[in-house]
Structures are given as structure tokens and as C-alpha cells.
Amino acid sequence: MPLFIFPLIGRFHPLIVHLPIGFILFALILMYYPRKDKNLLLPTVQFALLLSTLMSFFACITGIILYNQEGYAFDTVRNHLILGILTALTCLSLFLLVKKHQTLSDPKIHVGSAILFLCLTFTGHLGGNLTHGETYLTEVLPEGIQETFGWKIEEQFEPLSLDGEAWEEALFYEDVVQPILNQNCHSCHNEKNSKGDLILTSKESLLEGGKNGEVIFHKTPMESELLERMLLPLDHEDHMPPKEKRQPVEAEVELIKAWLLTGASFEETLGQSGISVDLVSSFFAKNETSIYPEVQLEPLKEDVLKKLKGQGFFIEKLSVTSPLLKVSTINFPEADNQDLESLEPILAYITILDLSLSNVTDDVIPLVGKMENLTILKLNETKIEGKSFEMLEENTRLIQLHLTKSMVSGDNLEKLNSHPSLQKVFAFETPLAKEINVEKLKELSFKVELGNFELPSLPTDQVKY
């Protein structure tokens, strides 16, 4: 027999199952069709039950072939398979009973036909779940009903959202690409439901690809199946996600594109990938200003600001209506502790202070401690070690502390453990990030983002193409 015969027979299973379904229902209808002479239809019922039995076994055999050929996990088909065989056996028993007793009114026959009906219903239902997914029937019901019965098993994901002040520290894959895939692809490409044998829930599954192979082409990223499918016209049958489903917004597709173009790295941050802020700005959390204090302060005199700007500080208002300020040394890299002292008249106004890349040292921290409304402090790529970080406890509104590529150590960071408001510290590429005692960091009262550790790369880590 040619080899393709088995897979072919297997694939006819979903069609063939309708034969026993039809015959069994027909037999049951004949058995309970109201009429005067109960036994008039006996020969017909007997024949229908014989056909039902034969077709049930035929369906079982094709089902088992399908299971063997298509590599279903036994766990997923077990109940359907057991009930299928039970249906065939019940059918056979009922046929033999009718044949033996030559009547349709025997109690045993009533019990048998009830069992047969139940077996048939449940087998069919489980089979349907296998081909259409478990939520096929329930997902069209109103949400309220689905929730009441606990049927809504599809996971809900938060839409992609980035922090406008810390977007560069977000990991491209983990914080951007995966959330986009979760939102748009998860329902059909997850561990339970992997359409096209493709799972899009982790780095490993993404690299593994689908039934037609890899979906990320590192050599020709723009042709990656992952992207190509999303770029196809909506009407194209291969378009992803399928037309009737929620579609990603253009900016999401652009981000997937940018990720592939910049090397599809699973470790890089958005900053390291070098993408422009325009690609992500539409995902900045909208209520961002709400993290800043609402305070009554006299508006500053223009000449105060003018003087400071003249000195080299970049200063802007947080918003048109707020007197609060964002101060940065972005254009003033030579700024040192001494220069910072000239900020004295506006200390209470400073809400965001960015001293990244400047010459400040730990001695500037006492001054920073006086900024009562400081909410975000950036000390990236400075010589700050954190020696006097306990002074930052005075900043009772401080929420974010950026220390990437600074010299801060774990011991010094611990000084902030009882900080009243601090929520997040970014400390990529610091001595701290290299410390082994990561467990200890987890016990701190705020979250510490360390990016990815640079573990020595193993030959097995390298994906070959």
C-alpha cells in the first residue's frame, strides 16, 4: 500500500465520524418513534444499529490512525478516544440485545440507548473541541455568560505601554515585542492552541518557528515570515492575524519591523537598539503627569531661569499649567558639583533632574536631597557610587532612580531600602548588576531593573543558520 494512504485515511476521520452520528441518531429515532405496533420497525432498527456499529468502529480506526499520524499528544485526545471506543461498544451491545430479545421495549434496551446517546454526544463534543478549540462554542456567547460559567479562558493582556521617561531602558523583546505578540497573536499561537504549529509566547518557541520552519530570518529580516504575514493585504488568506480578528495598530507592526531590522535581539534595550523615540512615543503612558506632585508654587521669575539656561542647563516646564520643572545637563556635560549649586533658587521646582553624563560625584547628593518635589532622578553614566544615598530619603516624592552605567554598588543601593516613595531603580551595566547576590536585591522595597546579565556565552547558546 502506498505510504500516503494512512495519513489520508486519518484525515478523513472528521468526515467519517458523521456516518455513525447519522446512523445512531436514525436508529434511536426509529426506536422511540411513537406508533401502535411497537415491533413493526424492529428489522429496520436492527439494520440501522448494525450499520451504526460498523461505522462506529470504522470511525474509531480512522481516529486512531489520525492520532498516530498527526502527532497529537495523548493527553489531548484521551477522553475523546475512550468515549469513541465506548460508543462503538455500546452500539454493538445494543445491536446484540435487540437481535436477541427481538423487542424494543425491554428495560435493558432503554438503558442501553440512553448510554449510547450520552456517549455519542460527549464524544462528538470532545472531537469538536479538538478541531475547533475548546472555546469554539462558548466564545460567541455574551461575555457576561462566559464569565458566569468560567468559560472565558482566553488570557487578557494589557496593551503595550511604555514609560516616557524610561523607555530607553525597556527591553526590546521582553517589554515591547512580546506584549505586541501577546495582544495580537496569543489566542491562536499559544501552548494549548498552536495554529500552524507556531507558538509565539517565548523566545524559545519564537525561534523554533512553525510547521513551515523558522519565522525569523536573521539574514533577510524584512522577509521574516513573522513580519511578512502581518504586512500582507488584509484580504490575503495568509494575512496575520486573520482578517476577522483584532488587528495590530500600525505603530505595533513598525516596532516588530524595527526589532527584526536591528537584529531581533532578545537582550537589547530600546536604547541599545538605537531606534528613534518616534517609534515608541505613541505608547507612552497617557496619565504620566499624574506621578508628579500637585503643588502650589509661585511661578519663577524669568530672569532666574534665564541665568541658569545661560550657564548651560536645559530647563523646561513639565506642562504649560504647572510651575514644576525638568532640568537636565544634556548640553552641559562638563557640569560638576559646583555648577549644580547654582540651582539653589529653584530646588523646590525641580521634578525631573537628569545629570546623566555629567561630572557630578557623590558629593552632589546632599544638594539633590533638598529637592522636595523631585520625582525622577537620572544619574546614568556618572561616577556616582551611592555613598551618601541615605540623603535621598529626604526626597519623599522620588519614584524613579536611573543609575545605568554609574558606579553604584549593591551595598549602597541598600541604603535606600527604607525610602518612603521610591518604586523603581534602573541599574544596567553597573558594578551592582554584576554582583552575584541577586536574591538580596529582590528583597528591597523597590524594583531593581538590571537588564540582562552578561553571562559567558556557551557554544550551545548560538543559534546557527
Q: Which is nearer to ligand HEC, 174 or 411 (CB)?
A: 174
Q: Which is nearer to ligand HEC, 189 or 326 (CB)?
A: 189
C-alpha distances in Å from residue 171, one per residue of 110, 267, 408: 65, 7, 21
3-state secondary structure of 125: helix
Whole-number CA gyration radius for the chain: 34
Query: Per residue in 306-335, is it b (16+ CB within 10 Å) or e — as a string?
Result: eebeeeebebebbeeebbbbbbbbbebeeb
- Give residue 464's region: left, alpha or beta (phi > 0; psi -120 to 50): beta
- Min separation Cβ 240 and ligand HEC, Å: 3
Q: Which is nearer to ligand HEC, 178 or 351 (CB)?
A: 178
- Min separation Cβ 228 and ligand HEC, Å: 8
Binding mask 370-409 for ligand HEC (x = CB under 6 A): ----------------------------------------
Q: What is the DSSP letter of 176?
A: I
In the window 184-213, what residues touch ligand HEC (CB under 6 A)? Answer: 184-185, 187-189, 195-196, 198, 209-212
Instruction: Tally Cβ neighbours within 10 Å of residue 39.
Output: 12
CA 212 to chain centre: 23
- Min separation Cβ 238 and ligand HEC, Å: 5
Specify whether the CB–CB gap between 104 and 42 falls below 8 A.
Answer: yes
Q: What is the spatial order of strands in the sheet that 400-402 belongs to?
A: 314-317, 325-328, 350-354, 376-378, 400-402, 424-426, 447-449
Q: Which is nearer to ligand HEC, 123 or 135 (CB)?
A: 135
- Min separation Cβ 143 and ligand HEC, Å: 18
CA geometry: angle 12, 13, 19, nearest 5 deg: 100
Q: Which is nearer to ligand HEC, 230 or 379 (CB)?
A: 230
Q: Which is nearer to ligand HEC, 74 or 465 (CB)?
A: 465
Terminal CA-CA length for the chain:
38
Separation between Cα atoms, residue 240 and residue 255, nearest integer Å: 16
In the window 10-39, what residues touch ligand HEC (CB under 6 A)? Answer: none
Q: Which is nearer to ligand HEC, 158 or 294 (CB)?
A: 158
In the window 227-266, what residues touch ligand HEC (CB under 6 A)? Answer: 229-230, 238, 240-242, 245, 248
- Min separation Cβ 145 and ligand HEC, Å: 21
Continuous segment of H or E residues that includes residue 354: strand 350-354
- Min separation Cβ 358 and ligand HEC, Å: 42
- Min separation Cβ 13 and ligand HEC, Å: 19
Separation between Cα atoms, residue 324 and residue 413, nearest integer Å: 27
- Min separation Cβ 189 and ligand HEC, Å: 6
- Min separation Cβ 163 and ligand HEC, Å: 24
Please work out the total of residues on this chain that contact ligand HEC, with binding judged by CB under 6 A: 23
Q: Which is nearer to ligand HEC, 196 or 431 (CB)?
A: 196
Residues listed for the chain: 465
Q: Which is nearer to ligand HEC, 215 or 353 (CB)?
A: 215
Nearest-CB residue for ligand HEC:
210
- Min separation Cβ 170 and ligand HEC, Å: 20
* Cis bond upstream, residue 241 (ω within 30): yes
Q: What is the DSSP string of 380-414?
A: TTS----TTGGGGGG-TT--EEE-TTS---HHHHH
Calculate the dihedral angle through the C-alpha atoms of 305, 308, 312, 316, rounding to the nearest 10 degrees: -30
Q: Which is nearer to ligand HEC, 235 or 439 (CB)?
A: 235
Binding mask 215-234 for ligand HEC (x = CB under 6 A): x---------xx--xx----
| Interface residues toward ligand HEC, by CB under 6 A | 184-185, 187-189, 195-196, 198, 209-212, 215, 225-226, 229-230, 238, 240-242, 245, 248
